[in-house]
Amino acid sequence: MKAWVISGGQLLRDNALRNEDLFLGGGVVLPDPAAGAARLDAQGLLILPGIVDIHGDAHERQFQPRPGVSFPSALALRDSESQILAAGITTAFLGVTLSWEPGLRSVAAWRQILQALEAARPWLSADLRVHLRFEADNLDALEEALADMEAGRVDLLAFNDHTPSIVRKLQDERQAAKYAERAGIGLDAFRDLARAAMARRAEVPEARRRMAEMARRLDLPMASHDEANLDEREAFRALGVGISEFPMAEAVAEAAQRAGEAVVMGAPNVVRGGSHLGWASAAPLAEQGLVTILASDYVWPALLEAAFTLLDRGRLDLPAAWALISGNPARAAGLRDRGDLLPGMRGDVVVVDPARRAPVAVFCAGRLAWAQAEFGSRLRQG
């Protein structure tokens, strides 16, 4: 494996920007340069820990670029990884929704994605992980989900509960048609499925208990999605769920922060200046310390852009803003080997041109994984 010296730029290490060189070799950050290392001239650039995306579902657009139109899973995954790397992301938790819905979020689609990931492991550069977003009413898939967790196919478990809102929206013909189109079935058939799922609500608490028990035994991080109130946060806390993901009320974020729990909101929210759903604005909550993690949600490049947007606002410096998309999500996910560039840590690095807010080179486990055209003119052989 080739060793590297990345020199001349500003290195973010141990929560501070430093005029130091970075040494990579053997997949990790080295304390000293290795013999024969290639050199990257990072003059005028930032040398930053690789981005850790704890929740992103933009890959759904590669698997189903139009409603009801599916592409081969191997091709979709290859395209997804290319986009992930170009966004400076070195660790990505793919948010895979396992729902009672047919089509994109079905059990069949879940199996295809897991199979595609397993087949792709030998050539992947980014560390792609599975964020299981289990839909509360998908009780028929419970045993399969538990078995996949037990087999090590799941890296993060999230508790979703979208069925009640879907059922409410079925009264609106336009919104109902969107769900049916995504599922690839007729509107009447979709309505029947949704109502059948809702009819088993009494079984949901026991299913959640079993999943949480399995996750605790396997030491899997757990997240609760779209918590609406303090009662929901307390209920999930009792199950051992330590990540509040996209809380719908500021009071929920405050309660989680007081308890030392991670609070996730979307980087697109920061970039756009507010939620596309009209919920709380993430930027001021991050500046107050209530939001501790930003996730790509549905746009991978939004993560890097969000860090610079926060820097522009003047309340956070770059180390604090970058922690929201690297160190903090790494810790919440239990990944202690990344999110910083101390010797011995995994060599996940994104070299960024601050003027363009864009990656120039991305290293995964010490290996060059992606480079922009400018990279060639900056390369120096050891």
* Domain endpoint, select from 293, 315, 332: 332
Phi, psi of 225 (to 5 degrees): -105, 135
Residues 123 and 9 in one domain: no
**Bridge partner list, 263:** 244
Question: How many separate domains does the chain show?
Answer: 2
Quote the crossing angle between the two packed helices 230-238 and 250-258, to the nearest 10°: 40
Helices (H) and strands (E) in the chain, counts: 16, 19
Residue with tokens 């991305």: 362
Q: The sheet that has 379-380: what strands, in order across it?
A: 28-30, 22-25, 4-7, 38-41, 379-380
Residues 59 and 34 in one domain: no
* Domain endpoint, select from 312, 332, 352: 332
Residues 245 and 360 in one domain: no
Q: Using the 8-state DSSP alphabet, how is residue 50 labeled?
A: P
Residues 79 and 196 in one domain: yes
Residues 39 and 79 in one domain: no
Q: What confidence score (pLDDT) does residue 183 get?
A: 87
Q: What confidence score (pLDDT) does residue 1 get?
A: 62
Q: What confidence score (pLDDT) does residue 276 get?
A: 57
Model confidence pLDDT, tens digit, residues 236-284 = 999 999 999 999 989 999 999 999 999 999 999 999 987 655 667 899 9
Residues 28 and 172 in one domain: no
Residues 292 and 315 in one domain: yes
pLDDT > 70? residue 192: yes
pLDDT confidence tier of residue 220, bands split at 50, 70 and 90: very high
CATH, residue 362? 2.30.40.10
Q: What confidence score (pLDDT) does residue 39 get?
A: 96
Residue 84, token pair as written in the block:
């992930």
Q: Mean of the pLDDT values across residues 126-152?
A: 97
Phi, psi of 164 (to 5 degrees): -60, -40
% of the chain exceeding 70 in pLDDT: 98
Whole-number average pLDDT of the chain: 95
Residue 235, token pair as written in the block:
């209920």
Half-sphere exposure of 245 (CA within 13 A, CB side): 28
% of the chain exceeding 90 in pLDDT: 88
Residues 177 and 42 in one domain: no
Model confidence pLDDT, tens digit, residues 350-362 = 999 999 999 999 9
pLDDT > 90? residue 311: yes
- For 83, other C-beta atoms within 10 Å of its C-beta total 16
Residues 94 and 220 in one domain: yes
Residues 61 and 43 in one domain: no
Model confidence pLDDT, tens digit, residues 320-351 = 999 999 999 999 999 999 999 999 999 999 99
Contact (CB, 8 A) for 210 and 221: no
Q: Which domain holds residue 376?
A: 4-48+341-380
Half-sphere exposure of 253 (CA within 13 A, CB side): 24
Model confidence pLDDT, tens digit, residues 43-68 = 999 999 999 999 999 999 999 998 87
* Domain endpoint, select from 294, 310, 332: 332
pLDDT confidence tier of residue 178, bands split at 50, 70 and 90: confident
pLDDT confidence tier of residue 380, bands split at 50, 70 and 90: confident
pLDDT > 60? residue 375: yes
Phi, psi of 93 (to 5 degrees): -90, 105
- For 133, other C-beta atoms within 10 Å of its C-beta total 23
Q: What confidence score (pLDDT) does residue 254 get?
A: 95
Residues 183 and 57 in one domain: yes
Residues 249 and 100 in one domain: yes
CATH, residue 125? 3.20.20.140
